[in-house]
Amino acid sequence: MKKILGLDLGVGSIGWSLIQADDEGNPQSILGIGSRIVPLSSDDANEFSSGKAISKNQKRTQNRTARKGYDRYQLRRENLTEELRRLGMLPDERLIKLPVLELWQLRADAATPGKRLTLPEIGRVLYHINQKRGYLHSISNDGDDKSQREYVQAINDRFAAIKSEGCTIGQLFARKLAESEVITDKGKYYTFRIKEQVFPRKAYVEEFDQVVACQRVFYPEILTDETIHRLRDEIIFYQRPLKSCKHLISQCEFSLREYKTPDGGSVIAGPKVAPRTSPLFQICKIWESVNNIELRNRDGESYPFTVEERQKLFFFLDNNEKLTVTDLKKILGLGPKDKWWGGKAIGKGLLSFPEKS
């Protein structure tokens, strides 16, 4: 008896069946059967047919990232609630349900010198600041993505504008909302869109410092240095440190050694591989490209490279962006009548430092 696996490969699905047959191949019984549907949307199918690489996990990764961000916000809010309750600054239901203009005006007053707020009102302002902490990213204006540079530049321009006016984010939004208020028979609304006004994290930190500085004058025994540090750095603007990725760096397979452990065992370890930015890595990649060059003629014979010729090819690639077939034949002193073919490996040119695949 033997088993036969049958596959039906289609564009959007894969069907399979496992059949048990006798020695002559005659089916006896079906051991298993099923199908797998490939969930491709019209856009995914177009990208797939055009040869573009797509990741089916991309949407799942985006959703997971959103869940992580929301979970961390909830954790910060819980910690802030416990700290405000301990300090006697927990806002009541009336403050939590303040209308949007009154809430932003309260936030603006909190950052105004001489304006005294009650402790629950200060707590409500801190709740509000904790909701949106501003834009914080490692990409600068010098990034390669043009849209990213324009987005970051617009954020920095807004920050520079409020710095020149000498106001905080809360004071700016309170004024803009009051100016854009429209009252109708059905109620009132505001034409100013706060969601479109993104500011950097630094602007929110400076607003927090100004709010605390203005209100600390009235509550020095509560808003101490220790309390401010905990609210500012350990709760509201706490940033989780990046996870180390050192464990993802491979070890050099040419330098592995056996080491004895204190418990009498042994482990095999060695130095980490060189980064892509290392000159040694670049030299290694150039030599790898040079040693992989192969020329053939019509008889299928390979060109006998000498050590000196490969050194010339290395020096050329070390000082030029790429090596074309014309450059290769010129360095080797080959003419059109020699009829040596470089193959598809060289193509339109062999890059001196190929892109990461």
Residue pLDDT, tens place only, 233-264: 999 999 888 888 888 888 888 888 888 888 88
Residue 41 or residue 216, greater confidence: 216
Q: What is the pLDDT of residue 219?
A: 96
What is the C-alpha separation between 237 and 203, in angstroms, rounded? 12
Residue 170 or residue 356, greater confidence: 170
Percent of the chain exceeding pLDDT 90 equals: 46
- Kindly report the backbone phi and psi dihedral angles of residue 322, in degrees, each rounded to the nearest multiple of 5, phi listed first: -155, 165
Q: What is the pLDDT of residue 206?
A: 96
Residue pLDDT, tens place only, 140-189: 444 456 777 888 899 999 999 999 999 999 999 999 999 999 988 888 89
The mean predicted confidence, pLDDT, of the chain is 86
Residue pLDDT, tens place only, 201-222: 999 999 999 999 999 999 999 9
199 and 160 Cβ atoms separated by less than 8 Å: no
Q: How many CA atoms lie within 13 A of 30 on its CB side?
A: 6
What is the C-alpha separation between 82 and 74, in angstroms, rounded? 12
Q: What is the pLDDT of residue 10?
A: 83
The one-letter amino acid code at 105 reads Q
* pTM metric for this prediction: 0.61
Q: What is the pLDDT of residue 56?
A: 62
Q: What is the pLDDT of residue 40?
A: 64
The residues facing 135 across adjacent strands are: 200
Position 54 confidence tier, pLDDT thresholds 50, 70, 90:
low
The one-letter amino acid code at 113 reads P
Position 343 confidence tier, pLDDT thresholds 50, 70, 90:
low
Q: What is the pLDDT of residue 335?
A: 80
Work out the burial of residue 9: count CB atoms within 10 Å of its CB; fewer than 13 is exposed, 13-18 middle, 19 or more buried.
Answer: exposed
What average pLDDT score do residues 67-86 get?
A: 94
Position 349 confidence tier, pLDDT thresholds 50, 70, 90:
low
The one-letter amino acid code at 286 reads I
Residue 288 or residue 115, greater confidence: 115
Percent of the chain exceeding pLDDT 70 equals: 89
Task: Inform me whether the pLDDT recorded for 94 exceeds 60.
Answer: yes
Query: What DSSP designation does 251 have?
Result: B
Q: What is the pLDDT of residue 322?
A: 84
Task: Inform me whether the pLDDT recorded for 39 exceeds 90.
Answer: no
Q: What is the pLDDT of residue 357?
A: 42
112 and 192 Cβ atoms separated by less than 8 Å: no
Residue 319 or residue 141, greater confidence: 319
58 and 33 Cβ atoms separated by less than 8 Å: no
Which residue pairs from 333-336 have beta carbons closer than 8 angstroms and sit at least 24 positions apart in sequence?
none
Position 344 confidence tier, pLDDT thresholds 50, 70, 90:
low
